[in-house]
Amino acid sequence: MRSLTLKLTLAFLLVGLIGSLLVALIVGLRTRSEVDLFLSVRDRTILLNALRSYHQANGGWEGVEQLLERTAPLDFYSRNLILADTNGVVVYGRRPYLPGRRLSRGVLARAEPLRSDGNIIGYFFFVGPPPLPILNDPRWAAEAALLQRLTAATVLSAMGATVVALIVGIVLARTLTRPIRELTAATRAMAQGRLDQRVTVRSRDEIGELAQAFNQMSADLGRAIQARRQMTADLAHDLRTPLSIMRGYTEGLRDGRINGSPRIYQIMHGEVEHLQRLIDDLRLLSLADAGALSLNRRAVDPRALLERAALAHMVQVESRGPTIRVEASDSLPAVWVDTDRMAQVLNNLLANALRHTQEGEIVLAAREAENRRIIIDVRDTGSGIAPEDLPHIFERFYRADPARTRESGQSAGLGLAIAKAIVEAHGGSISVTSTVGIGTTFTITLPVAPASETCTEPQTTSHTGVHLSHP
């Protein structure tokens, strides 16, 4: 039995059947008990009325045993009857209360008085439980027929409830297993290479959440496959360009069409360096993906870290329009980072800012946040980033303009991806906000150094073109 639908159907049927049988059993027993009680109360009333009539007709209880033992159905209900006169003397009874025995005060207090016209004419009680009618006796034929009809109705109701449980079980089982069958079919299709699979979300319960998770997984997998294909194409393009240049020069040198010169060797060396940088970047990203990126962490003054990055771009600042300004307090707690790695991140962000900022300023700011965190902002007044490009800005080989070719000295589109990998390896995060025509802000969040560590980064001094402000 491998079908989940069949298992659920049988489970619902079993639950319905057990419930119906229990209800039928309880109702049947209760009905019989109530019928017996009804007959007992009714015939007890008949018995007492007969005793009252006998006492009125005879003026006492003499000969009452003949009435009780020879009149149906009084002979049945008088089996456990104990009857005493007004003095407490038994006139009709069974062991241990035989006729002629006087009842004790305690027994007489528990007995019920028998009244006629408001006067007490005797006392009675039953020894043990009142006798129940035997329904197969012809005297209770009507009652037996009623009980049989009630039993039949109960059995039919149980059978109907079982059928309804079976129908409902089939419907519910198919309803529950339908999305599972769809998920199974979609999973098998994905295993065969058809990755664009989606299933319909039919509910908001756990199965609906499973369908949503599958759709999200399928979408993420599709994006990952597309990103891998795009990265492979971009990587091939970035490798082909310098290799094509070097091949052209080497073939020309081999065939004697061109003569070697320092200029040619410099170009070829520059292409080799570009290939080396690309390979190093890819290796760094692969280490970050594997969680094997080594970090030589130590406590570093955030202000000194920003001033070092600003001074590294002093020459570019002097030859361009914008200025660099550092905003950081001397009292900020140290951050727990690898100095060289974080310098690589800040240098990359500053290089991007300088590339897209023709005038205005670039601000490197640091401030303390909650949860023992330091926030570093790299703000510029450049051209900004288009809203449709912001979600992809940290993707590998992503370029805002796909048709743009590699310019001299320009990266292959891995800089921001590397920056994100390094920051996250430090246990931090990086995000970006931008407005076209106004500027861009990259925000880095880094952990504060442990209290046992001391700051080891020396303070740097200001230089021409770099403004260091203290808030």
Secondary structure of the chain as H, E, C letters: CCCHHHHHHHHHHHHHHHHHHHHHHHHHHHHHHHHHHHHHHHHHHHHHHHHHHHHHHHCCCCCHHHHHHHCCCHHHHCCCEEEECCCCEEEECCCCCCCCCECCHHHHHHCEEEEECCEEEEEEEECCCCCCCCCCCHHHHHHHHHHHHHHHHHHHHHHHHHHHHHHHHHHHHHHHHHHHHHHHHHHHHHHCCCCCCCCCCCCCCHHHHHHHHHHHHHHHHHHHHHHHHHHHHHHHHHHHHHHHHHHHHHHHHHHCCCCCCHHHHHHHHHHHHHHHHHHHHHHHHHHHHCCCCCCCEEEECHHHHHHHHHHHCHHHHHHCCCEEEEECCCCCCCEEEEHHHHHHHHHHHHHHHHHHCCCCEEEEEEEEECCCEEEEEEEECCCCCCCCCHHHCCCCCCCCCCCCCCCCCCCCCCHHHHHHHHHHHCCCEEEEEEECCCEEEEEEEEEECCCCCCCCCCCCCCECCEEEECC
The whole-number pLDDT of residue 138 equals 60
pLDDT at residue 409 in the model? 43
Per-residue pLDDT of the chain (471 residues; tens, 9 = 90+): 466 677 777 787 788 788 878 887 887 777 766 766 666 667 677 778 888 998 888 888 988 888 888 777 677 667 778 899 999 999 998 888 889 999 998 888 889 899 988 899 999 888 866 555 555 556 556 666 777 777 788 788 888 888 888 888 888 777 777 888 888 888 888 888 787 788 888 777 788 888 888 888 888 888 778 777 777 777 777 788 888 888 898 999 888 888 888 888 898 888 888 888 888 878 887 887 777 788 888 999 999 999 999 888 887 777 667 888 899 988 899 999 999 899 989 998 998 888 888 888 899 999 998 888 999 999 999 889 998 888 888 887 776 655 444 444 445 578 888 889 999 999 999 999 999 989 999 999 999 988 766 665 544 433 334 454 444
Distances (CA, A) of 337 to 363, 421, 442: 21, 13, 18
Domain coordinates in residue numbering, the chain: 1-80+129-194, 206-289, 297-469
pLDDT at 154: 79
Looking at 3.40.50.300, 3.30.565.10, 3.30.470.30, 3.30.360.10, the CATH number of the domain 297-469 comes to 3.30.565.10
pLDDT at 49: 87
CATH of 206-289, one of 1.10.287.130, 1.10.3720.10, 1.10.760.10, 1.10.1740.10: 1.10.287.130
User: What is residue 84's predicted lDDT score, i.e. its pLDDT?
Assistant: 92
